[in-house]
C-alpha cells in the first residue's frame, strides 16, 4: 500500500489522480491533500477519501473546513502546503507526493517533500523550469525518485527503461499544436479567451491550455526534459503530431526509435508514476485501436510561428536565472490573458520583453529564484494592461 500526498487535488491532474486511487483501493491510500479555493470540490474529495491532512489557500476556508471536519488536521497558505507535502506517514518509504499545483507555487512544497525523503511524481513542470538545477541536486542528495507525470516525459521514461542514457542520439517530444495550430500569426491577433481554452485533444487546467496554445508548454517540456534526463538541449527535439497518440520517443545511436503510444488520457502516466516500477490495470481507460486511427501525422515545428518555443530553448540554453524569468513572465502574462486584460498575442511580447530586459544572475540560489519570480510577476501585473506596454 502506497501513501499518496496529493498537491492540487481539485485540479485536472488532481481529479484524475483520485480516479486512479479510486480504481486501486488496495494499492493506494490518500494521506494528505492540498488545494486552493474550490471548497465544494474539496469537500466532496474529503468526504470520499478522508485524508488525514488538508491544506487550503485561505485561513477563512481552513476555519470553514474545520467546523465541518473537526477530526481532520487542517492548514492553510504556504505553511499549509509544506505541512501537506511533508505529512508524516506511518510507512515513510512507501510515500509518494503527486505534485500537481499550477505554477511556481509548487516549488517550495515539492522541495520540502524531497528533503523529507519522499518520492515525487511530478506534474508541476514549473518546478523544474524555474529551479531545475537546484531541484535535481536535491533529488540526488536525498536519494529520492523523481517520476514524470507529463505524458511526454512519461513516454520517454518508459522508452528508456533498461537503456543507457549514453546511447541516446536524441529525444523527440511530440506536440499536438494546441488550440490555434491551424491559425496564422495574423489570425492570432483576434482570437478570444474562449477559443484559446478549447484544446483539440486534451482537457486540462486553464493555464496549461493557454501554454499549449502559445507553445510555451512545449518549451517548458524541453527544459523539463533537459533536467530530468540530463541531456543537452541539442539532443532534445520537438515534432508537431496532431493526433497525440505517440506521446514522445527516443532515438538511439543505432538509429532505432522507441516510442510510447496511448490514448490521450492523463490517468495512464499518472498511474505509471504512482505504481512504478509496476504496471496496474486501468480498466476505465480506452484501449488504443490503431486500425481506427489509420494514420499518424508529423510536421516540423516552426519557431517563427511559435516564438515562445524559441524563447524557451534560448532561456534553457543560457540557463542560470533565465528560465526563472521565462517562467515568471509567462505565469503573469497568462494570468493577465485569463483575466482578459491583454490579448493572446501580447503574452509572447511580455515574455520577450522580460527576457530582453533581464541581466543574468549566475548560479541563483533558492532565495534569489523566489525573489526574482516575485519581482517579475509583480512588475508585469502592475505595468501591462489592455492594449498598453510599459
Q: How far apart are CA 364 and CA 321, in angstroms?
A: 6
For residue 170, give Cα distances in angstroms to 119, 205, 233, 236, 248: 27, 30, 9, 6, 11
Q: Residue 104 corresponds to which cell in the numbers above?
A: 511556481
Stretch that binds ligand NAP, among 99-107, 189-197, 270-278, 346-354 (CB under 6 A): 99-107
% helix / strand / coil in the chain, to the nearest 5? Answer: 50, 15, 35
**Full DSSP string of 114-125:** HHHT-EEEE--T
User: In this structure, how many other beta carbons lie within 10 angstroms of the beta carbon of residue 68?
Assistant: 12
- Applying CB under 6 A, which of residues 5, 14, 342, 369 lies at the interface with ligand NAP? 14
In terms of CB distance, is 202 or 379 closer to ligand NAP? 202
Q: Residue 290 corresponds to which cell in the numbers above?
A: 490503431
Question: In angstroms, what is the minimal distance from the CB of 77 to ligand NAP?
Answer: 8
According to DSSP, the β-strands at 168-175 and 257-261 are unpaired
Question: In angstroms, what is the minimal distance from the CB of 185 to ligand NAP?
Answer: 24
Site for ligand NAP in 283-322 (CB under 6 A): none
Stretch that binds ligand NAP, among 63-71, 94-102, 300-308, 333-341 (CB under 6 A): 94-102
Question: In angstroms, what is the minimal distance from the CB of 13 to ligand NAP?
Answer: 4
What track of x and - describes contact with ligand NAP for positions 152 through 191 (by CB under 6 A)? ----------------------------------------
Q: Residue 37 corresponds to which cell in the numbers above?
A: 479555493
What track of x and - describes contact with ligand NAP for positions 29 through 48 (by CB under 6 A)? -----xxxxx----------
- Applying CB under 6 A, which of residues 5, 18, 31, 101 lies at the interface with ligand NAP? 101
Chain-centroid distance, C-alpha 101: 8
- Applying CB under 6 A, which of residues 20, 21, 114, 125 lies at the interface with ligand NAP? 125
Question: In angstroms, what is the minimal distance from the CB of 248 to ligand NAP?
Answer: 12
Closest CA to 32 of 21, 40, 24, 23: 21
245 binds ligand NAP (CB under 6 A): no
Query: Do residues 92 and 119 lie in contact, with contact meaning Cβ atoms separated by under 8 Å?
Result: no
Q: Which residue is nearest to ligand NAP (CB)?
A: 11
208 binds ligand NAP (CB under 6 A): yes
Q: Is the peptide bond before 274 cis (omega within 30 degrees of 0)?
A: no
Stretch that binds ligand NAP, among 3-11, 129-137, 239-247, 283-291 (CB under 6 A): 3-11
Question: In angstroms, what is the minimal distance from the CB of 389 to ligand NAP?
Answer: 27
- Applying CB under 6 A, which of residues 204, 223, 273, 301 lies at the interface with ligand NAP? 204
Residue 254 burial class via C-beta count within 10 angstroms: exposed 0-12, middle 13-18, buried 19 and up: exposed
- Applying CB under 6 A, which of residues 98, 102, 240, 250 lies at the interface with ligand NAP? 102
- Applying CB under 6 A, which of residues 4, 5, 13, 326 lies at the interface with ligand NAP? 13
In terms of CB distance, is 2 or 125 closer to ligand NAP? 125
335 binds ligand NAP (CB under 6 A): no
123 binds ligand NAP (CB under 6 A): yes
Query: Do residues 226 and 316 lie in contact, with contact meaning Cβ atoms separated by under 8 Å?
Result: yes
Question: In angstroms, what is the minimal distance from the CB of 357 to ligand NAP?
Answer: 25
Q: How far apart are CA 159 and CA 282, in angstroms?
A: 20
Q: How far apart are CA 85 and CA 113, in angstroms?
A: 5
- Applying CB under 6 A, which of residues 32, 124, 212, 244 lies at the interface with ligand NAP? 124
3-state SS, residue 142: coil
- Angle at the Cα of 347 (from 229 to 269), degrees rounded to 5? 35
What residues line the site for ligand NAP (CB under 6 A)?
Answer: 8-14, 34-38, 57, 100-102, 105, 123-126, 150, 202, 204-205, 207-208, 266
Amino acid at each position: 500500500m502506497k501513501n499518496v500526498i496529493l498537491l492540487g487535488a481539485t485540479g485536472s491532474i488532481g481529479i484524475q489522480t483520485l480516479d486512479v486511487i479510486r480504481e486501486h483501493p488496495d494499492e493506494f491510500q490518500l494521506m494528505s491533500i492540498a488545494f486552493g479555493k474550490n471548497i465544494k470540490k474539496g469537500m466532496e474529495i474529503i468526504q470520499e477519501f478522508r485524508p488525514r491532512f488538508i491544506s487550503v489557500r485561505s485561513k477563512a476556508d481552513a476555519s470553514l473546513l474545520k467546523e465541518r471536519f473537526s477530526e481532520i488536521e487542517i492548514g492553510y497558505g504556504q505553511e499549509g502546503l509544506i505541512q501537506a507535502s511533508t505529512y508524516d506517514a506511518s510507512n515513510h518509504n512507501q510515500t509518494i507526493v503527486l505534485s500537481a499545483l499550477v505554477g511556481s507555487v509548487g516549488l517550495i512544497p515539492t522541495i520540502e517533500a524531497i528533503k523529507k525523503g519522499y518520492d515525487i511524481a511530478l506534474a508541476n513542470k514549473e518546478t523544474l523550469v524555474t529551479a531545475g538545477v537546484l531541484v535535481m541536486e536535491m533529488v540526488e542528495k536525498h536519494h529520492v525518485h523523481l517520476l514524470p507525470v507529463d505524458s511526454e516525459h512519461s513516454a520517454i521514461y518508459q522508452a528508456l527503461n533498461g537503456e543507457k542514457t549514453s546511447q541516446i542520439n536524441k529525444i523527440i517530444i511530440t506536440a499536438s499544436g494546441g488550440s490555434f495550430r491551424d491559425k496564422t500569426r495574423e489570425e492570432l491577433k483576434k482570437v478570444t479567451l474562449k477559443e484559446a481554452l478549447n484544446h483539440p485533444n486534451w482537457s486540462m487546467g486553464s493555464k496549461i491550455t493557454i501554454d499549449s496554445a502559445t507553445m510555451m508548454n512545449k518549451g517548458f517540456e524541453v527544459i523539463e526534459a533537459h533536467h530530468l534526463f540530463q541531456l543537452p538541449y541539442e539532443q532534445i527535439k520537438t515534432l508537431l503530431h496532431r493526433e497525440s497518440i505517440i506521446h514522445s520517443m527516443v532515438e538511439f545511436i543505432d538509429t532505432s526509435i522507441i516510442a510510447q503510444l496511448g490514448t490521450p488520457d492523463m490517468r495512464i502516466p499518472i498511474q505509471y508514476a504512482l505504481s512504478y516500477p509496476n504496471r496496474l490495470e486501468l480498466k476505465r481507460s480506452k484501449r488504443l485501436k490503431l486500425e481506427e486511427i489509420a494514420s499518424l501525422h508529423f510536421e516540423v515545428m516552426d519557431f517563427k510561428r511559435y516564438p515562445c518555443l524559441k524563447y524557451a530553448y534560448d532561456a534553457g540554453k543560457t540557463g542560470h536565472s533565465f528560465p526563472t524569468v521565462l517562467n515568471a513572465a509567462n505565469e503573469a502574462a497568462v494570468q493577465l490573458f485569463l483575466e482578459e486584460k491583454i490579448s493572446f498575442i501580447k503574452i509572447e511580447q511580455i515574455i520577450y520583453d522580460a527576457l530582453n530586459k533581464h541581466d543574468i544572475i549566475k548560479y541563483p540560489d533558492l532565495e534569489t529564484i523566489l525573489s526574482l519570480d516575485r519581482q517579475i510577476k509583480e512588475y508585469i501585473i502592475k505595468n501591462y494592461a489592455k492594449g498598453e506596454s510599459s
